[in-house]
């Protein structure tokens, strides 16, 4: 029997609509869905791999328990009970904070896991909550909280209407866009050019996105804050600022004073971008009919990640491009998570309400920076983490100084992982609880509809029923949350999986109906049923201006210069002085990362079709540096940092700035007892065995991956 299913891909942020053909319970083809009004048929090579992910023989299908003789398959009730008891035991012996939690990136691509996982995590009542946020977008959320009053009021580039886009530290043509859900980004960037606009890229590497840009400027890693300050200074000098609009004139004055205290010549020396180039960019930006500045991981994962995100918002605001078509705008999603009256409202945020035990790093919105995780496990004393729960993550490969974390996890009293695979992290678990894979569960994108470049919505029905004896992420967490209550109350534990009457779909139905386009709120046709009738998705129109009513600050003004940023000024200035007087010894190179279209962080390397072609885990080096350090193409080099040393093949290319080298993250599948057969044939090495857990943005606590000082030499 042949059937056609429609659902969107949940692997990255782009949410591409897929047309999935199934014959006799096997997927026969996955293509882009041309009738999806948002993605318009776009798909990348990873989308079709949902089939192989579903069929992957390495995927875990039954709960696993680590025993003396290896992994043993056990029943769900046994696994869930032993996990609940294990966690309870650690907490009753050592206190609630003795259990740590790490939520990986795919958590936010799985609404069931988010909705029910949250209930379970709340039950644990631990402060030791970590996630991929603090190796990623923490500065974006922090500045949204400070400037707009809500951590999820993140400004989104109105890419379809802008006439000038300035991109820093993002490579959307490889990553398919981030904090800008934008399927088919190559075409949308090209459309800017076709309508007479332009886009400009600031990046230490001439990336796939930079290669097609109107202009590309190399920048020294970690110096973007000064480049952005330079632009702000020029905007003031050239009288291109607007305002006050939605902010006070005192704030504008404070900003001007700050920017004018950084000299343009010094900025040019430090960043490698000339004063003329800065001036050209600033003036073209300001004089464009509309313009938007966008910065992504390359500028959030650095020493001044928070300052960078602040200045990006500032540039959009003072040129009149904040909250206007073609500038930086805000979504009004079908399930609103920002409006305090919404049934799905989330916390506006919190900052520094408490700190990590060892290093005193600040909390953000109930989470602590993951750069501190290993030391919280390794450092003895009250409050030490003795047990971990990991969900959909691989922090051994994805967080700084991963080797240290690897070692820390080995010594835990108890660890449970909810994951599809035995990866570099979950191999340390005592129990692995495997959920269904994407094609077996329904999905509503709670997160990426909020960050989309158009208001859009769809509901994704499962393609297959779950295999016998498999549970969804949400079912695992719904059970565990209740089972913890039983254990704590000293009651006998249920011998069956505890069913929940509340389902993620029912929660979404309620939220859709009550939401800004819903039937119950009388504002539109949306309900779960309506979305099921429209399987290609529903377009809700372009982004609309929403200031001041949607601003979540008390006075409904945007805070142009948050006090916390001013508090970071001394650090910003002293680093500036340090850069100015930096006597380059010529021995040090600055390490950055990169992404490849056919990868997805650490976990798609097990898909054989994605792994064909040239070796991907290489050290990119500029020809001049290769000569300087005696490196030859395709030969091995030793790269060494404060925390570690790895050996990696060299790729000589003029597409990287001199003084900079690059290695992609997510590789390093060489550790023992990992069950990733294909990935093990393309193991590569982990860049995060070089990145430094002590290198952070001291203001936000975010990891500073960009610009790690390393030495490089030939391996033989």
CA distance 416 to 430: 6
Size of interface with ligand MGD, in residues (CB under 6 A): 65
Tell the residue number behind the tokens 């805000």, with chain if given. 330
Chain positions 211 to 230 lying near ligand MGD, rule: CB under 6 A, are 219, 221-222, 224
Dihedral in degrees, nearest 10, Cα atoms 535, 540, 543, 549: -130
Sketch the per residue contact string, 295 through 314, with ligand MGD: x for CB under 6 A, - otherwise. Answer: -xxxx--x------------
CA distance 564 to 146: 8
Task: Name residue 600's beta-bridge partners.
Answer: 602
Q: Which residues of 119-133 are buried (b: 16+ CB within 10 A; e: fewer)?
A: bbbebbebbbbbbbb
691 contact choice in ligand MGD, ligand SF4, Mo ion, none (CB below 5 to 8 Å, kind-dependent) = ligand MGD
Q: Is residue 11 at the binding interface for ligand SF4, with CB under 6 A as the rule?
A: yes
- Starting at the edge strand found earlier in the chain, the sheet holding 198-202 runs 215-217, 198-202, 164-168, 292-295
- Select from 7, 36, 47, 129 the one that contacts ligand SF4 (CB under 6 A): 47
Helix (H) or strand (E) holding 416: strand 414-418
Tell me how far, at minimum, the Cβ of 48 lies from ligand SF4, in Å. 8
CA quadruple 537, 539, 544, 548: dihedral sign = negative
Tell me how far, at minimum, the Cβ of 479 lies from ligand MGD, in Å. 14
Nearer to Mo ion, 180 or 385 (CB): 180
- Select from 43, 174, 487, 507 the one that contacts ligand SF4 (CB under 6 A): 43
CA quadruple 448, 453, 459, 465: dihedral sign = negative
Tell the residue number behind the tokens 């998705």, with chain if given. 537
First to last CA, the chain: 59
CA distance 48 to 31: 7
Q: Is residue 136 at the binding interface for Mo ion, with CB under 5 A as the rule?
A: yes
Q: How far is CA 130 from CA 193, 241, 487, in A?
A: 41, 39, 25
Chain positions 163 to 222 lying near ligand SF4, rule: CB under 6 A, are 176, 183
Nearer to ligand SF4, 16 or 154 (CB): 16
Chain positions 128 to 157 lying near ligand MGD, rule: CB under 6 A, are 132, 135-136
Instruction: Tell me which residue of 327, 239, 255, 230 sits closest to 288, measured CA to CA.
Output: 327
Helix (H) or strand (E) holding 580: helix 569-581
Tell me how far, at minimum, the Cβ of 463 lies from ligand SF4, in Å. 15
Q: Is residue 13 at the binding interface for Mo ion, with CB under 5 A as the rule?
A: no
Tell me how far, at minimum, the Cβ of 2 lies from ligand SF4, in Å. 23
Tell me how far, at minimum, the Cβ of 181 lies from ligand MGD, in Å. 11
Q: Is residue 391 at the binding interface for ligand MGD, with CB under 6 A as the rule?
A: yes
Nearer to ligand SF4, 29 or 670 (CB): 29
CA distance 703 to 351: 17
- Select from 84, 168, 377, 620 the one that contacts ligand MGD (CB under 6 A): 168
CA distance 175 to 215: 20
Size of interface with ligand SF4, in residues (CB under 6 A): 12
Instruction: Tell me which residue of 384, 379, 381, 386 sits closest to 410, measured CA to CA.
Output: 386
Nearer to ligand MGD, 310 or 517 (CB): 310
Tell me how far, at minimum, the Cβ of 28 lies from ligand SF4, in Å. 18
φ, ψ at 540 (rounded to 5°): -110, 15
Q: Is residue 111 within 8 Å of residue 473, measured between CB atoms?
A: no
Q: Is residue 52 at the binding interface for ligand MGD, with CB under 6 A as the rule?
A: no
395 contact choice in ligand MGD, ligand SF4, Mo ion, none (CB below 5 to 8 Å, kind-dependent) = ligand MGD
- Select from 5, 7, 9, 105 the one that contacts ligand SF4 (CB under 6 A): 9
Q: Is residue 33 at the binding interface for Mo ion, with CB under 5 A as the rule?
A: no
CA distance 78 to 85: 11
Nearer to ligand MGD, 223 or 331 (CB): 223
Task: Name residue 3's beta-bridge partners.
Answer: 22
Q: Is residue 20 at the binding interface for ligand SF4, with CB under 6 A as the rule?
A: no
- Select from 16, 422, 507, 538 the one that contacts ligand SF4 (CB under 6 A): 16
Q: Which residues bind Mo ion (CB under 5 A)?
A: 136
Contact positions vs ligand MGD (CB under 6 A): 12-13, 104-106, 110, 113, 132, 135-136, 168-172, 174-176, 178, 202-205, 207, 219, 221-222, 224, 296-299, 302, 391-395, 398, 418-421, 423, 435, 473, 592-597, 599-603, 665-666, 687-688, 691, 705-707
């Amino acid at each position: 029997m042949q059937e056609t299913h429609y659902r969107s891909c949940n692997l990255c942020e782009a949410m591409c609509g897929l047309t999935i053909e199934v014959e006799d319970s096997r997927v026969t083809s996955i293509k882009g869905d041309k009738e999806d009004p948002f993605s318009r048929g776009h798909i990348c090579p990873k989308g079709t791999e949902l089939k192989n992910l579903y069929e992957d023989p390495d995927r875990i299908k039954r709960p696993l328990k680590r025993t003396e003789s290896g992994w043993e398959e056990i029943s769900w009730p046994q696994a869930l009970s032993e996990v609940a008891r294990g966690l309870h035991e650690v907490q009753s012996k050592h206190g609630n904070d003795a259990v740590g939690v790490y939520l990986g990136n795919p958590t936010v691509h799985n609404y069931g896991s988010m909705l029910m996982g949250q209930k379970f995590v709340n039950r644990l009542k631990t402060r030791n909550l970590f996630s991929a946020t603090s190796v990623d977008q923490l500065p974006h959320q922090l500045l949204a909280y400070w400037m707009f009053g809500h951590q999820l009021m993140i400004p989104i580039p109105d890419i379809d209407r802008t006439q000038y886009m300035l991109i820093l530290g993002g490579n959307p043509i490889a990553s398919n866009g981030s904090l800008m859900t934008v399927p088919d980004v190559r075409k949308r960037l090209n459309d800017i050019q076709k309508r007479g606009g332009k886009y400009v890229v600031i990046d230490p590497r001439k990336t796939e996105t930079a290669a097609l840009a109107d202009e590309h400027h190399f920048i020294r890693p970690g110096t973007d804050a000064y480049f952005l300050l330079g632009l702000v200074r020029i905007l003031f000098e050239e009288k291109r600022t607007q305002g006050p609009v939605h902010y006070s004139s005192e704030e504008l004055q404070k900003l001007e004073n700050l920017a004018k205290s950084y000299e343009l010549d010094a900025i040019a020396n430090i960043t490698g971008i000339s004063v003329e180039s800065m001036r050209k960019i600033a003036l073209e930006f300001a004089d464009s009919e509309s313009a938007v500045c966008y910065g992504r991981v390359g500028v959030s994962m650095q020493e001044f990640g928070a300052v960078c995100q602040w200045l990006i918002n500032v540039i959009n605001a003072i040129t009149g491009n904040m909250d206007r078509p073609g500038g930086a705008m805000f979504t009004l999603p079908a399930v609103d998570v920002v409006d305090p009256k919404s049934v799905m409202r989330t916390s506006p945020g919190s900052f520094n309400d408490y700190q990590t035990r060892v290093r005193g790093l600040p909390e953000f919105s109930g989470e602590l920076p993951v750069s501190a995780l290993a030391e919280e496990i390794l450092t003895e004393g009250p409050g030490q983490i003795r047990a971990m729960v990991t969900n959909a993550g691989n922090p051994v490969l994805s967080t700084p100084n991963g080797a240290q974390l690897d070692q820390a996890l080995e010594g835990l009293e108890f660890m449970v992982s909810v994951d599809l695979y035995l990866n570099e992290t979950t191999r340390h678990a005592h129990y692995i609880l495997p959920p269904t894979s994407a094609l077996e569960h329904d999905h509503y994108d709670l997160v990426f509809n909020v960050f989309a470049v158009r208001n859009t919505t769809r509901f994704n029905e499962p393609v297959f029923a779950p295999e016998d004896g498999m549970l969804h992420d949400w079912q695992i967490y719904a059970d565990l949350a209740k089972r913890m209550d039983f254990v704590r109350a000293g009651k006998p534990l249920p011998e069956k999986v505890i069913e929940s009457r509340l389902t993620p779909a029912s929660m979404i139905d309620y939220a859709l109906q009550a939401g800004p386009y819903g039937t119950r709120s009388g504002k539109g046709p949306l309900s779960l049923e309506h979305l099921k009738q429209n399987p290609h998705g529903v377009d809700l129109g372009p982004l609309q201006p929403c200031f001041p009513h949607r601003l979540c600050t008390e006075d409904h003004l945007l805070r142009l210069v948050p006090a916390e940023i001013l508090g970071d000024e001394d650090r910003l200035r002293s680093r500036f002085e340090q850069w100015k007087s930096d006597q380059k010894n010529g021995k040090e190179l600055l390490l950055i990362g990169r992404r490849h279209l056919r990868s997805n962080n650490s976990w798609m390397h097990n898909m054989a079709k994605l792994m064909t072609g040239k070796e991907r885990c290489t050290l990119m080096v500029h020809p001049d540096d290769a000569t300087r350090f005696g490196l030859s193409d395709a030969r091995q080099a030793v790269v060494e940092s404060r925390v570690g040393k790895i050996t990696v093949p060299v790729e000589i290319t003029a597409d990287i700035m001199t003084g900079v080298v690059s290695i992609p993250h997510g590789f390093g599948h060489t550790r023992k007892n990992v069950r990733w057969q294909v990935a093990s044939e393309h193991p590569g090495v982990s860049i995060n065995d070089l990145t430094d857990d002590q290198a952070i943005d001291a203001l936000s606590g975010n990891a500073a991956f960009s610009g790690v000082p390393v030495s490089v030499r030939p391996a033989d």
